[in-house]
Structure 1
Amino acid sequence: MLTIYEIRELVKLLEQTDIESVEVKDEQSRIAIKRSVHGTVPVVVAKPTVVAPIVNEPEKLVVVKEAPKPAVSAEPKVEPAKIDVNTENLHKITSPMVGTFYAAPAVDSPPYVIVGDKIHNTSIVCIVEAMKLFNEIEAEVKGEIVQILVENGQLVEQGQPLFLVKID
């Protein structure tokens, strides 16, 4: 039988993928985990299988509820600008790695940059969290932030544009 810690790890792995459900069986037990529409895993059901006949003992059903994650809206709200911009003459600041984009250093802090901010080569424009490491991303160019292309808390890919900058 899987321990509660192994089940929790399985749930965490499922949350990080596009897989909607997973089922694990062994000689003694069966566990099925299904993700809801919103990407959380609300219920885990484990049902032991009978290996030898047991007299006067009913089958057990275990239900574990995963605590809901806090809403991303509690973090600073930096939404991508919805303006039409000619991107040909603009520099794209891209993500150097796969991870989670954060616009501010903490939940209660203002964002590093907003549209219209002047930046320098060493200006920190955001954080990309990868494997519990928070990586500060520098602008590497001097100019003005024209557009923010991702939302706070959004997963980003390596090479994905994060900002558009009008170079000075």
Structure 2
Amino acid sequence: MMKIHEIRELIKLIDQSTINEFEYEENGAIVKMKKGVDAQVVSTFVPAPVAKQEIIAQPTVTSVATIEKIVEEPKAAEEVAKVEDANLHKITSPMVGTFYSSPSPDAANYVSVGDKVNDSSIVCIVEAMKLFNEIEAEVQGEIVEVLVKDGQLVEFGQPLFLVKA
């Protein structure tokens, strides 16, 4: 059990820090502290802009029609990707943490590209503060793409998987 001077010291440390909520448990005794914060904390996720890489092809034929075709093809590919992207459901991270694709390093991944999932299928684990949280698909369909690597840090709202519903 903590002594009163230890609790006072802990209160001072929490008061001086940016921590708003603290919980400590030892031998069945629980100490919970909350700062009196009236303001509502709102966090938003703004994905970092992705830099486009343009590939400039050197045409071997100098006709204008060939050059126009080279310039038009990437636009058509981008439009197809946007249309396909609109038909896909994104499974996003519900918290900040570390992404794990399998329950342990030597076990098989929960899901891979091409696997069928349903609403309650576990697709990965996100570890936050030493707690391993199983993430469910929440949609029925087929995994089209895994967007993060095993062990990668993920943000709240970051897309983890694309599912064709």
Give TM-score, length-normalised by structure 2.
Answer: 0.50
Greater Rg by CA: 2
Give TM-score, length-normalised by structure 1.
Answer: 0.49
Higher strand share: 1
Higher helix share: 2
